[in-house]
A = this chain, B = another copy of it.
Amino acid sequence: MIRTVFFEDQKLKILDQSQLPMQLAYLTCASVEELATAIKTLKLRGAPLIGVAAAFGVAMAIADYDGPSHGLEAYFQRVKSLLASTRPTAVNLFWALERMEKVFLAKHSAHQKELALCLRNEAENMYAEDIKINQAIGEHGQALLNEDCNIMTVCNAGALATCGYGTALGVIRSAAIRNKIKRVWVCETRPVLQGSRLTVWELMHDKIPLTLITDSMAGYTMSLGKVDAVITGADRIAANGDTANKIGTYSLAVLARHNNIPFYIAAPLSTLDFSLSNGMQIPVEERNPEEIRQLQGIQLSLPDVDVFNPAFDVTPNQLITAIITEKGVIEKPFGSELKKLKQS
């Protein structure tokens, strides 16, 4: 299994996803600032992975701190704020930082070395847990699928978006092991092409049959009767089940509904945000217009054209057939079912 983030010589190594599928290269982040830049520039992406990588970043920062001990707590807060500011939509980031803060507050009177070790252990635990969570999501999700399934997905909710195995691709992997997957339709996912670059790479690596399409072909492919289910990941799920995910997910959900195709979200419970009653309250990140105007330095449109570049959209709960979590498959009404899960 490919490691997406790890420590080496007290520095963080991250798999540089911006170079895939052409190169499998690791980037060294020698400081938490370098990690923050890597997250902002999508060298490392995927809601669950962003959370765990931020946890590793906190551990590194505290280990490297060389100021007076009375300044440590303020420094921790600065590190937390820096990492929290990298991406606004995926809630796993904030969840992971809160979890690290709990360890910090419980242990911050300890010697700095011991504290740093505790934080690093917590990050490593989160890494290992994430893989187990994904495998559980995979198991629960595959049970929803019949033989010879044609699945459509968008973006990359795979091993590369997590610590391994993946959420939506975890379901597809678990189904493929049982020979349930006939074909995966991969939407290329403009503007950053996580589908054609990352999901294609992962599925070809695992020898799972796939066909690549542009995002604009998803509806037509469904209308031809070639899709049995749509499965995507999630960046944040509100208390009522409304789900923020990669831009284009909402369109897939509407198109799936129109074509009577089940639409599934696969995500760990850390994606849930019970503080938001509905999806309208989820902040949607808008990114640099150049992501649409240019591609790898090639000008695609006029340099001064006005651009709208939301990185995510929000799919209302009515369009979601079920949410696949590590604790099981949640069906409607999502509000009460999610609440039960929280209390369980």
Q: Which of A247, A295, A308 has the most CB of B within 10 A?
A: A308
Interface contact B305-A212, CB-CB below 8 Å:
yes
| In the bound complex, CA of A287 to CA of B185 (Å) | 18
Interface contact A188-B310, CB-CB below 8 Å:
no
Closest to A155 in B: B216
Interface contact B200-A302, CB-CB below 8 Å:
yes
Closest to A295 in B: B295
Asked if A21 CB lies within 8 Å of chain B CBs, one says yes
Asked if A299 CB lies within 8 Å of chain B CBs, one says yes
Kindly provide the distance from the CB of A284 to the nearest chain B CB, expressed in whole angstroms. Answer: 8
Closest to A259 in B: B254
| In the bound complex, CA of A22 to CA of B210 (Å) | 35
- Which chain B residues border A260 with CB–CB below 8 Å? none
- Which chain B residues border A154 with CB–CB below 8 Å? 216
- Which chain B residues border A197 with CB–CB below 8 Å? 300-301
Q: How large is the interface on A (under 10, 10 to 19, 20 to 34, 35 or more residues)?
A: 35 or more
| In the bound complex, CA of A308 to CA of B217 (Å) | 9
Kindly provide the distance from the CB of A315 to the nearest chain B CB, expressed in whole angstroms. Answer: 9
- Which chain B residues border A185 with CB–CB below 8 Å? 308
A214 in contact with B21 given A254-B255, A258-B258, A313-B219 (CB within 8 Å):
no
Kindly provide the distance from the CB of A191 to the nearest chain B CB, expressed in whole angstroms. Answer: 5
Asked if A292 CB lies within 8 Å of chain B CBs, one says yes
Q: Mark A200-217, 1 if CB is under 8 A from B, else 0.
A: 110010000111111111
| In the bound complex, CA of A154 to CA of B216 (Å) | 10
A residues 286-309 with Cβ under 8 Å of B?
A: 292-293, 295-296, 298-302, 304-309
Partner of A301, one of B212, B250, B306: B212
- Which chain B residues border A193 with CB–CB below 8 Å? 300-301
Interface contact B248-A204, CB-CB below 8 Å:
no
Kindly provide the distance from the CB of A203 to the nearest chain B CB, expressed in whole angstroms. Answer: 9
Closest to A258 in B: B254
Interface contact B251-A213, CB-CB below 8 Å:
no
Asked if A80 CB lies within 8 Å of chain B CBs, one says no
Q: Which of A190, A196, A217, A257 has the most CB of B within 10 A?
A: A217
Q: Mark A116-137, 1 if CB is under 8 A from B, else 0.
A: 0000000000000000000000
Asked if A223 CB lies within 8 Å of chain B CBs, one says yes
Known: A190-B190, A191-B214, A215-B248. 10 other contacts (CB 8 A): A188-B301, A193-B300, A210-B305, A211-B306, A212-B293, A212-B301, A216-B216, A254-B255, A295-B295, A295-B298
Interface residues of A (CB under 8 A from B): 21-22, 154, 185, 187-191, 193, 196-197, 200-201, 204, 209-221, 223, 247-248, 250-251, 254-255, 257-258, 292-293, 295-296, 298-302, 304-310, 313-314
User: Can you spell out 29 A-B residue pairs with CB atoms less than 8 angstroms apart?
Assistant: A21-B301, A22-B299, A188-B301, A190-B190, A190-B215, A196-B292, A196-B305, A197-B300, A200-B305, A201-B302, A204-B302, A204-B305, A209-B306, A211-B308, A212-B307, A213-B292, A213-B309, A214-B215, A214-B309, A215-B216, A216-B251, A217-B308, A217-B309, A218-B251, A219-B250, A223-B250, A251-B251, A296-B298, A298-B298
